[in-house]
Chains A and B, each alone.
Chain A
Amino acid sequence: MARRPRILMMVVTLLIVAAACSSGNGGGGSTGPGGTGTGQQGGTFKFPLSADPTKLIPQNDYEAAGAQVFNAIFTRLMTYDADTNAPVPAQAKSVTSDDQMVWTIEIQPGWTFHNGEPVTAQSYVDAWNWGALGSNGAILNFFFEKIQGYDELNPAKGDATTTELSGLKVVNDTTFTVTLTAPFSQFPIELGFDAFDPLPKAFFDDPDAYNEKPIGDGPYMLTEWKHDENIVLERYPDYQGTPGYADRIELPIYSSTDASWADFQAGNLDISSVGSSNLVDAQQNYSDSLTEQPSSLFLYLGLPLYDPRFQNKELRQALSLAVDRQAVMNAVLVAETPADAFTAPVVPGYQAGSCTYCTYDPALAKQKLADAGGWQGTMTINLYSNDATLEQAMEAIGNQWKQNLGIDFELNVMNYNSYYDTTINHKFTGPWWDGWVMDYPSLEDYLRPIYGSTGGYNGSGYKNPAFDSLLTQGDEADSIDASIAKYQQAADIVAEDMPVIPWGFLPSRYVHQPTVTNVHQAGPLNNLELADIQVVQ
C-alpha cells in the first residue's frame, strides 16, 4: 500500500464511507488505499482460494492462490497507483537511478516482519541472493538474471563458487544498491512483483518450517494454514503502512469453482470471483455487486513464423481480419472482450485500437490473402484439452476462416505439458491458442517475452532487429514516460508484422454479499486487494 499524507487518507476514507452508504455498492475499484482507524476497521470476511498454494515462499511460487496470499502478507517495495497503475513506492521510500543501471533503493525505517524482526536492506539482499542461487531450485530464479553476478550463481556446469550476487550492496540498514548488467528503466515497476519480497532470518534457519507458516512484512499475518482446507490471516498490529480494514480474513480452499460458487450462493462466502461458467448466473442474481475490471490476461492465437507457409505477413493479417471476435464471444467465450492491441488494457501506455488488423473485415482479408498468394492445404488449429468451450471457440474460428477465406481446417487437441514444450521448441504446424499474463504492469513485460527475439515466450519465432532495438531504447530511456513512448513505437511494428493474432481480454469479475464493501482488484494485478475490503458492521 502506498503511504500517503494522513489528511488525504482521511478524505479518501470518508469518500469510501459515503459511497458505501449511498449506493450500498462499494465495488468499482477506483478507490484508494484504506484509512487508519476510522471505526470502519474490524470484522471477518471469507474469500475462497481456487487451490491450495503450492508453496508460500515468494521466490519459489508461481500460481494464483499463492499470489493472493502474498498480496496480504507482504508489502512489496513498490506498488501501483489505483487509478493509473503507475508504480509508487510502498515499503520502499525511494527507488532511484541516474543511468538506469545502478539503482539505489531506500526503504522505510522501523518496519518489522510478523515475528518482530526488523525489515532491513539485508532482508532484501538475503532474499534475492537465495532466489538467485541456482542450487536452491527456486522457481522464480530467472527474475534475478538482470542483476550483476547472476551468471556466477548459475554456472552452466558444476557448483557455484559464490552465494552472493556481486550486484547487490548493502549501504546501511535502510539502503542498498542494485547493479544491473544493462540499463533497465522498468526496474522500479518490476519491484512490485513478489519475487523481490524480503525474507526474515527465520526463513534461512528453516525454509521448510517457514513454508508452512510464512512470515511477511505485510498488513496481515498468516496465523493458520490447514492444507486444502483453510488459511487464516489476522491484521498485523505493528504494521507501519496503511493498515487493513478487516480484523481477520479467512481464505477457505476449494478445488473446483463450482463448489465455491455453490457455497457463495448459500451465503457461506462473502466474496467470489466470477468465472465464465457462472457469469450468466452472476449477472442475473448478483448484478448489484458484480464488479468488472480489466485484467492483465492477453489472449492470442500464436502463428508459427518458422513455418515457410506463415512467413508472409499479409497472410497473417488476412487471418486476423477474417475472424469476427465479437461473434465468437457472443456465442461461446461469453466472458471475454475482443482484443484491440498487443498488450492487455491494464498497462500504462496501452493504446486502444493499436492493432489495426484486429477489426473484422472479410473483404480486406480476402484481398490480403490474394496478395499473399493464397493458402494451400489444411490449416491445423491447436488447443489444449479439458475445455469443451475452447474447442467450440476454435471450431468457430476455423469455420470463419473457411467461410471468409476458403481455408480448410482441422483441430488438434493436445495435453498441456506437451503443449508448452511445443510452443517453446517451435514445433507447431498451425495457429495455436495461447495467452500471457504479465508479472509487472509494463508494456515491456508483454512485448519482450512474446515478440522479442530473445523473449522467453516467443513461440512464433518472430525476429525483427528494428523492434528489438526499440525495446532496448525503451530500457535505456531516462524516465518511465520516455520508455513508454519507445515501447509504443515497438508495438506499432508488431501491429504491422502480426506475429500473433490478438484475440481477447478477460476482465476480472467479482461479486460479494452485502456483508462487505470496497471489493476490488489489486491495481493491475489479477488478485483481490484484501486489505481494502471492509466488513459492514
Chain B
Amino acid sequence: MSRRYLVRRILIAFPVLIGTTLLIYAMAFALPGDPIRRLAGMHVISESTHREITQRYHLDDPFVVQYYEYLKGIAHGDLGETFTGQDVSSIVVERFPVTLKLTLGAFAVEIVLGLIAAFVAALRRATFIDSFVLVSTLVLITIPVFVLAFLAQLMIGVKLKWLPVAGVQHGWLGYVLPWLVLGVGSAAAVGRIARSNLLDNLNSEQIKAATARGLPRRRVLGAHVLKNALVPIVTILGLDLAALMGGAPVTETIFNLPGLGQMLILGVRTENGPIVVGLVTLAAMIFIFTNLFVDLLCAYIDPRIRYG
C-alpha cells in the first residue's frame, strides 16, 4: 500500500473531527437556560452553591475559552464533567463495552444473515427462494427499529418468555433479542445489495471464461465471484457498523442496556450538555476511523483504488 494514500486519508480525518466537535459544542453552548439551576428541581439553588459549581466547570468563561479548554481535555483523553460531577470519560469507559457488545453482535447478525440470504438468492435466481428473500428483506427494511424492538420484546420476552425482556443482569442472553432487532434491518439491506453484486459478477465475462476453462465451481465462486463482489460489500458493511452505533440509542433504551446510546438519549432528555457533546464527539471519532479503516481495507482488496 502506498504510504501517501495512508497519510492523506489520516490527515483528512483531523479537520473533519475538529469541525464536528466545534459544531456540536457550539450547539450545546447555545442552548438557552441555566443547567445548574435545574439540579435542585424547582428550588432556587443558593447563590454560594451556584457560584461554586459555575467556577468548577468554567461556565462563566467565554465560548472560545471554554472550547479551547474542552479541546485540551480531549487531547488528554478527558471528555469533561457533567454538571452533577460525573466524569464523562469514565461514563464512556463504563458504558462502551455494552454498546460494543451490542453493535458487534448485531454486526455479526447482519453479516451472517445478510450474506447467507444473498448467496442463496443469487445462486437460485428467479426461483421461489429468490422472491422470498427479496420480499422479506424489503419488509424488514421498511419496519422502523423501534417497532421491531417493541414487538420482539412483547412477543418473545413478555408473552413467550423465551428471552430476557430487558437489562444486562442475565448476561449475554439479554443481548440476543437486541442483536436480532438491531441486526436484521441491516442484514436485509446488505442481503439485497450483495445479491445484485453477486449476480453481476456471476454474469460477467471473466466468470464465464473461468467456468469455460473448467475451473471447479467452488473455486470460481470463492476466488473470483466473491472477491470481486467484496469491495462494495465491505464498504457498505463498514458504513453500517457506524450506522448500527447510530441505531443503538433506540435499541438500548427499549431493552434497558446501559450503553452509550442510552446515555445519549438521557443526556438529550435532561439537556445535559457535557454528556451530549462528549458522546457525539466520540461517535464522530468512531465514524471517522471506521471509514478510514474501510477505505484502507478496500484499497488492500482492490489495488486499483489506492492509485485512483
Contacts and interface: CB of A to CB of B under 8 A. Distances in A.
B37 A424 contact: yes
A62 B39 contact: yes
B269 A386 contact: yes
Given A145-B46, A266-B158, A139 B32 contact: no
A136 B51 CA distance: 11
Given A139-B45, A142-B44, A154-B46, A259 B255 contact: yes
Nearest to A227: B94
A258 interface: yes
Question: Most chain-A CB neighbours within 10 Å: which of B48, B85, B150?
Answer: B48
A420 B48 contact: no
A252 B33 contact: no
Contacts of B266: 51, 255
Contact of A134 (B48, B56, B168, B256): B48
B41 A255 contact: no
A437 B49 contact: no
Interface in A410-458: 415-421, 424, 435-437, 449, 456-457
Given A154-B47, A419-B33, A457-B44, A255 B265 contact: yes
Interface string A149-167: 0000111100000000000
Question: Most chain-A CB neighbours within 10 Å: which of B35, B158, B266?
Answer: B158
Contacts of B47: 154, 156
Contact of B40 (A139, A145, A259): A139
Contacts of B164: 268
B52 interface: yes
Contacts of A329: none
A137 interface: yes
A203 interface: no
A421 B33 contact: yes
Given A54-B84, A229-B258, A266-B157, A415 B43 contact: no
A141 B256 contact: no
Contact of A416 (B40, B256, B271): B271
Contacts of B37: 417, 420-421, 424
B161 A256 contact: no
Contacts of A421: 32-34, 37
A337 interface: no
A436 B43 CA distance: 10
Contacts, number: 144
Contact of A229 (B40, B46, B51, B169): B169
Interface in B91-130: 94-95
B168 A229 contact: yes
Contacts of B215: none
A264 to B, nearest CB: 9
A262 interface: yes
Contact of B49 (A54, A138, A266, A436): A138
A225 to B, nearest CB: 12
Contacts of A254: 166-167, 256
Given A135-B48, A141-B49, A55 B85 contact: yes
A222 to B, nearest CB: 17
A379 interface: no
A141 B38 CA distance: 14
B256 A260 contact: yes
A63 B47 CA distance: 20
Nearest to B98: A228
Contacts of B169: 229-230, 252
Contacts of B41: 62-63, 437
B253 A265 contact: no
B254 A137 contact: no
B295 to A, nearest CB: 35
Contacts of A138: 49
A154 B51 CA distance: 10
Contacts of B95: 228
A140 interface: yes
A457 B38 CA distance: 12
B165 interface: yes
Nearest to B164: A268
B42 interface: yes
Interface in B264-281: 265-266, 269-271
Nearest to A250: B169
A443 to B, nearest CB: 17
A436 B42 CA distance: 7
A138 B84 CA distance: 10
Given A255-B266, A260-B166, A457-B43, A417 B49 contact: no
A140 B35 contact: no
A230 to B, nearest CB: 6
Contacts of B255: 259
A262 B167 contact: no
A145 B86 CA distance: 27
A263 interface: yes
B209 interface: no
Given A227-B258, A252-B169, A262-B158, A415 B46 contact: no
A415 B166 contact: no
B153 interface: yes
Contact of A255 (B38, B40, B153, B262): B262
B48 A154 contact: yes
Interface string A55-66: 100000011000
Contacts of B270: 416
Contacts of A142: 40, 43-46, 49
B31 interface: yes
B258 A420 contact: no
B154 interface: yes
A534 B37 CA distance: 39
A267 B159 CA distance: 10
Interface string B146-176: 0000100110011001001111110000000
Question: Most chain-A CB neighbours within 10 Å: which of B31, B41, B168, B254?
Answer: B41
Nearest to A262: B165
B53 interface: yes
Interface in A228-272: 228-230, 252-256, 258-260, 262-263, 265-268
A421 B38 CA distance: 9
Contacts of B53: 137
A449 B41 CA distance: 13
Contact of B38 (A258, A260, A420): A420
Interface in B125-153: 150, 153
Nearest to A228: B258
Given A137-B56, A415-B31, A421-B33, A256 B45 contact: no
3 tightest CB-CB pairs across the interface, nearest first?
A417-B33, A134-B48, A228-B258
Given A266-B158, A421-B34, 19 more contacts: A51-B266, A134-B52, A137-B53, A141-B46, A142-B49, A227-B94, A228-B94, A230-B169, A254-B166, A255-B253, A259-B254, A260-B256, A267-B161, A386-B269, A417-B31, A417-B34, A417-B271, A421-B33, A435-B42
19 contacts: A62-B41, A139-B40, A140-B40, A227-B94, A228-B94, A229-B167, A229-B168, A252-B167, A255-B253, A255-B258, A256-B256, A262-B153, A263-B165, A266-B157, A266-B158, A416-B38, A417-B37, A420-B33, A457-B43
